[in-house]
Amino acid sequence: MIIAMNYDLLKRLVEAPGVPGQEGKVREIVIDALCGPGYEMETDPLGNLVIHIPGSGPRVLLDAHLDEVGFLVQSVDPATGFIRFVTAGGVDPRVAYGQPVIVWGHETLRGTIGAVPPHLLSGKNGDMERVPAVEDLFIDTGLPADRIRANVSPGDQITFLPNWHLDQDAVQGKALDDRIGLFVMIEAVRASRDMACDLYLTASVQEEAGLRGAGPLTRRIVPDIAIAIEGTIANDLPGVPQHKTLARLGEGPEIRLSDGRFIADQAISSFLVRCAQDAGIPHQVVVKKVGGTNAAAFQVEGTGARATALSVPVRYIHSPVCIARRADMENTATLLREFLRRVREFTPG
């Protein structure tokens, strides 16, 4: 039976700010959603949340990362109040210019990412067509400079607006990479009654800043099997050739065999495929050479682990508005539940 999911939880996750290194508000939501009798829960010095659900069987690590791409305040112009910033994670300047943002300072402020209008640049067409570099952008709140100076400090986080919208088929919002992974992991565990493993759930930090939270987690837990649960690139767009579409919306979870940072363990990936086939869950097996997840770190850190990535297809990842299908989320959560129920059947071969 397909899992019925609580989309109010996803809304809360999307609306919370959490750029790399400042994931606390998102972590609080996960703690609230996953606290349960018999669950062992702690946060490590880096900020990773670790939840242990003791059981017999292989030691399984399921991970989704807390952080989102965004920005950090670099400085405030003392005369004008314009805010200069740097990126936190991979944000393409083409999706930043002109976007409304929230500056999470002492006072929460709304602003717009601005730059000198292209028609006021020097007369060469090249200047008019150039995408402004991040260092040429600024945030304009329209407020007096003294108010900005009193409320905004270097290091304050800046995020896109939530842009939340839900209908019967799809969801739109910021930060679906990887709030969608957290959501799927939580709902799968909530719906599981017979988990055939010793289970560790981790909500990791600083994935978007170079997979920094994953290494300490795997060295600490030493899992037999590790699965990174992600929102992944769906490039099924007009004009994109079939071999470059990667995952597609509406075709179920992506079971990844390779990306730009790792080659998945074939045995555990094949076991996920078998679980999906036996339960009649639509899925797509993807081989690619781009992107990367915490699975790359889980695979090689410490003593190593059998690692793969299970992902929900998302269009326009790392942008102000991402789009995903409800059916893909529900099928991903259902596949995770099936995996947890059957994992004791897994044999490396």
Q: 3-class SS at 148?
A: helix
Percent of the chain with pLDDT over 70: 96
- Residue 235 in contact with residue 286, Cβ under 8 Å? no
Average pLDDT of the chain is: 94
Mean pLDDT of the 115-120 span: 62
Can you tell me the mean pLDDT for 16-30?
98
Question: What does the pLDDT look like over 160-207, one tens digit per residue?
Answer: 999 999 999 999 999 999 999 999 999 999 999 889 999 999 999 999
Q: Is the pLDDT score of 127 beyond 90?
A: no
Confidence label for 133 from pLDDT (cuts 50, 70 and 90): confident
pLDDT per residue as tens digits for the range 136-166? 899 999 999 999 999 999 999 999 999 999 9
Domain ranges in the chain?
A: 7-68+174-345, 70-160
Q: Residue 122: pLDDT band by 50, 70, 90 thresholds? A: low
Count, in order, helices (H) and strands (E) of the chain.
10, 17
Q: How many CB atoms lie within 10 A of CB 62?
A: 26
What is the pLDDT, as a whole number, of residue 134?
85
Q: What is the CATH number of domain 7-68+174-345?
A: 3.40.630.10
Distances (CA, A) of 10 to 29, 224, 240: 10, 29, 30
**Residue 1: which of 346, 323, 335 has the closest Cα?**
335
Does the annotation count 23 as an active-site position?
no
Rounded to whole angstroms, the Cα distance separating 177 from 326 reads 15
Catalytic residue selected from 68, 187, 207, 330: 207
What pLDDT sits at residue 131?
A: 77
Residue type, 335: L
- Does 7-68+174-345 match 70-160 in CATH topology? no
CATH superfamily placement of domain 70-160: Peptidase M42, domain 2 (2.40.30.40)
Q: What is the pLDDT of residues 202-246, one digit of tens each?
A: 999 999 999 999 999 999 999 999 999 999 999 999 999 988 899
Q: For position 37, what pLDDT does the model report?
A: 80
* pLDDT for position 125: 52
Q: Could you tell me the pTM of the whole model?
A: 0.94
What's the pLDDT tens digit per position in 63-98?
999 999 999 999 999 999 999 999 999 998 889 999
User: So what's the pLDDT on residue 129?
Assistant: 63
